[in-house]
Amino acid sequence: MNQNDYETATASDPDEALDVINEVKPDLIILDMNFTMETTGEEGLALLKEIKSLLPAIPVILITAWGSISLAVDGMKAGAVDFITKPWSNEFFLQSVRTALCLSKETEQKLTRNQIDSKYNFESIIGKDPVFVAALETVGRVSKTDASVLILGESGTGKELIAEAIHKNSSRKNQPFVKVNLGGISSSLFESEMFGHIKGSFTDARYDRIGRFEMANNGTIFLDEIGELDINMQVKLLRVLQDRTFEVLGSSKPRTVNVRVICATNRDLEEMVNTNEFREDLYYRINLISLKLPALRERAGDIPLLANYFIKTLQNKYKRPGLQINKQAMNWLKGLSWSGNIRELKNLVERAVVISNKDFLELDNFTKEFITGPQKITSKKLPDVGTMTLEEMEKAMILKALKENKNLSRVARILGISRAALYRRMEKFGISA
């Protein structure tokens, strides 16, 4: 049969399926989890494992009911590339098929930075280090698909910049690119922010609001800091990522969107799955392609390129065309560990430029700013014994953390306690969020 320009073959049971697979050697397999009145999904899992033992390179997309997503997760662990829930959108289904076929035909190549630049638009991304170039090559390959991408890396490594590059090099480049900092959205506002609301749906809803997913329709939505998302909000996010449908707050009429999803985090989501802080089904939904960005210390050869790029930008910003960094200072910059990565380097260069009245920046200009800048303190100062009780110190630390961070999950993590423990202490000290 020919369906949507694809030659297809069908099978009604596992034995027939294996015969067809051996005869046809398909490029893609779409596999239901059940073939009889049995609804456990074990039939589908057993066939998937057999297929993968015979033809491990063939991509398999699983079909499952919403209530059986845990089975689909088991299938992803067994080698499936994606799972579609019933009932599905034909457009979303075909999008998944096209993505799986495209990714299966792509072979990883070792390209130079010049070769990459001839194929993709990465003009705003600086770096020639082999580790970084390998990551860029992956960015280029996945850009032309609709695959969900999870960008991992420490704070300041450029995750947002990479997400924008994926969008700019995709077929959606002329459509919206919507950025959402999930760490900055409270639980009470999550549905309104992400899905929108209609006037009168709650006390302060004085007008209709369009949610972020609807704003990103036909384009890309970038969900930054997804590791900060509360477990209850993860369920609501999973549903819209499953079938691209949602309900506006205050309305019962489902709406459908066509979006590509890119997520980013500096947290270890696998560990969070193990500790039940992050849903395993959501993890597999956002993690079709995982991209790890190297820390700046792992690509030290790029530090002079980045520093000179920032200097060039500051030449225009501060009308000082003679700005440059001497060799001794540049070598010193290359030797730092850069816990804040590219963002920390950028801030240090700009502080040195602003404070110095010289255009030729030397080592002293950087060492002074590095010491006086917002660096991590290694020898922590404590108040003199007797000046504060332990409870007063605890309250002061909580207040300081809340002042610097609005997200309670992040505050709890910084303080080394659970979110529930943070709530108990806030209640004890009469602290409001």
Q: Tell me the HSE value of 269 on the side-chain side, using a 13 A CA sphere.
A: 27
Predicted structure pTM score: 0.79
Domain at 113-292: CATH code: 3.40.50.300
Find the mean pLDDT for residues 69-77: 82
3-state secondary structure of 62: strand
The top-level CATH class assigned to 390-429 is mainly alpha
Residue with tokens 């049969």: 1
Topology (CATH level 3) of domain 297-372: Helicase, Ruva Protein; domain 3 (1.10.8)
Please state the domain extents for the chain.
2-105, 113-292, 297-372, 390-429
Fold equal for 2-105 and 297-372 = no
Nearest to 303 by CA among 321, 325, 322, 330: 330
Residue with tokens 């730092």: 336
Q: What is the pLDDT of residue 375?
A: 47
Interior angle at CA 57, CA 54 and CA 59, nearest 5: 105
266-293, pLDDT tens digit by residue? 999 999 999 999 999 999 999 888 999 9
375-430, pLDDT tens digit by residue? 444 445 667 666 677 777 888 888 888 887 777 877 887 787 777 778 878 888 88
Q: Please, which pLDDT band fits residue 28 given cuts at 50, 70 and 90?
A: very high
343-369, pLDDT tens digit by residue? 999 999 999 999 998 999 999 999 887
159-216, pLDDT tens digit by residue? 999 999 999 999 999 999 999 999 888 888 898 899 988 887 777 777 888 999 999 9
Q: What are phi and psi of 8, to 5 degrees?
A: -125, 155
Domain at 2-105: CATH code: 3.40.50.2300
Q: Please, which pLDDT band fits residue 106 given cuts at 50, 70 and 90?
A: low
Residue with tokens 């033809």: 55
